[in-house]
Amino acid sequence: MTEVHQVLVGAGQTDAITNMARSLQSSLRSLGPSEIFAQHPAPEVTDVQHLSSFPKNPSRGRIVIFHASGGDPEVFKFLQNSSDPLVLIFHNIAPPELFENFAPDRAALLRQGWEELSFLREKIVLSIADSKYNAQCLEKIGYQNIVVLQAGVQPNRLHKYESDIEMTRLLERETVDPLLLYVGQAAPHKRPEVLVQMQYLLTHHIGRTTSLALVGPPTLPQINAAALEQARRLRVPGCLFLGQLTENQLATLYRKASIFITASTHEGLCLPVLEAMSFGIPVIARNAAALPDTIGNTGILLPEKAGPELFAEAVCELLDNPRLHQRFAKQGLRTSAEYSIEKTAASFMNLIKGVL
């Protein structure tokens, strides 16, 4: 019996990385005790323990899996002082310079995250990246022999949730078809304002009737607040800023949406894109970071610096071209099925057994 515990910087009830750790936990428990620890667990999270309660003296062999997504001095100190074999799962860290002008403290933590990863390099016995792009990022800071594996990724995890009645009513009341959906944090590199400007062009310049729903935690609330204010000043109809939602509410939106759209300039994998694909929703995104790898042939990839004009026209193209819409939808279902947890869990467990 071997203990295999997972360590995260932060943990949230609906957070993508916490969900990945939860998926892996059930497989890891076939080897022995397996718990999830985080330095900053959200108060409502009950299945993740605080890092300070990490067992000091293991009675048997032990492996620590670290999910890297940001910097934290306490987590780093813990990992540095740990004598257990350390496995890294790299989900990428947002480039600090993108936060510099908005939140210098967060930028400092992100910078610290990259530095910590460099220092940990010698201690890591197995490096896993959840996309080719993330593997390339690790290589740039000296990591070698990186395994690309979408460990714990479950694109269809929302299918089991029933639609939320209140959300269904809200959408019936406040939106018109077709619904364009964005799911992601309110952060500077996600560029939600480009989507608001796109909705402005669609409704005011092109004469389309569309709705746009923006969903995600307010990492930097002023980003969405400013986009919302722009929508108000430009009198853009049909823009819904819904904040962080429950799984049932999110599943309702995916069932209703016609197109998933993101103007993000930096993604390590982009789980919401995979979730959208699993619901048969075509994707429109920029050809940036991991997005081309994740999307493949399941949507429209616009140039890296595409503005609202191109986004608006891409929406029109998908709405007016049902054959293309259907093609992307079918391909999305096929691609997302390739990420099945059963397949990745087996590969992941083989890798972990290799460390034992």
Partner 1 sequence: MASSAKPNQNDKQDSDTFSLPDSALNTQPKEVADALRRISETVEKRRLSGDYPEGLEDQLDRHYRQILKGFDVDDTEMQSLQGALHHLRSATNFNASHIEVWSPNPLKRLIHRLLAKLTVRQTRGVLLQIEQYTDALDNLLNQIIESTQEATSAEQGQGLFSNRSDLERRLSTALDRLSLLEEKINNSQTL
- Among residue numbers 249 through 268, which ones bind partner 1 (CB under 8 A)? 265
| Region near partner 1 per CB under 8 A, out of 55-63, 133-141, 196-204, 347-355 | 196-204
Position 187 contacts partner 1 (CB under 8 A): no
Position 15 contacts partner 1 (CB under 8 A): no
Given 9, 24, 151, 201, the residue binding partner 1 (CB under 8 A):
201
Question: What's the min distance (Å) between Cβ of 265 and partner 1?
Answer: 8
- Among residue numbers 167 through 186, which ones bind partner 1 (CB under 8 A)? 174
Closer by beta carbon to partner 1, 90 or else 241: 241
Question: What's the min distance (Å) between Cβ of 203 and partner 1?
Answer: 9
| Contact call for residues 198 and 308 (beta carbons, < 8 A) | yes
98-102, long-range: CB < 8 A, 24+ apart:
98/187, 98/188, 98/189, 98/265, 98/266, 99/187, 99/188, 99/220, 101/188, 102/188, 102/220, 102/222, 102/223
* Cα–Cα distance for residue pair 23/37, rounded to 1 Å: 14
Closer by beta carbon to partner 1, 47 or else 97: 97
Given 24, 236, 291, 329, the residue binding partner 1 (CB under 8 A):
236
- Among residue numbers 311 through 330, which ones bind partner 1 (CB under 8 A)? 313-314, 316-317, 321, 323-324, 327
Task: Give the number of residues in contact with partner 1, rule: CB under 8 A.
Answer: 78
Given 240, 261, 271, 352, the residue binding partner 1 (CB under 8 A):
240
* Cα–Cα distance for residue pair 259/208, rounded to 1 Å: 15
- Among residue numbers 96 through 115, which ones bind partner 1 (CB under 8 A)? 98, 101-109, 111-112, 115
- Among residue numbers 55 through 74, which ones bind partner 1 (CB under 8 A)? 71, 73
Question: What's the min distance (Å) between Cβ of 198 and partner 1?
Answer: 10
Position 333 contacts partner 1 (CB under 8 A): no
Closer by beta carbon to partner 1, 33 or else 292: 292
- Among residue numbers 116 through 135, which ones bind partner 1 (CB under 8 A)? 119, 121-122
Closer by beta carbon to partner 1, 243 or else 354: 243
| Region near partner 1 per CB under 8 A, out of 3-11, 14-22, 254-262, 304-312 | 304-312
Question: What's the min distance (Å) between Cβ of 67 and partner 1?
Answer: 19
| Region near partner 1 per CB under 8 A, out of 2-10, 31-39, 229-237, 347-355 | 229-237
Closer by beta carbon to partner 1, 152 or else 299: 299
Position 297 contacts partner 1 (CB under 8 A): yes
* Cα–Cα distance for residue pair 168/170, rounded to 1 Å: 5
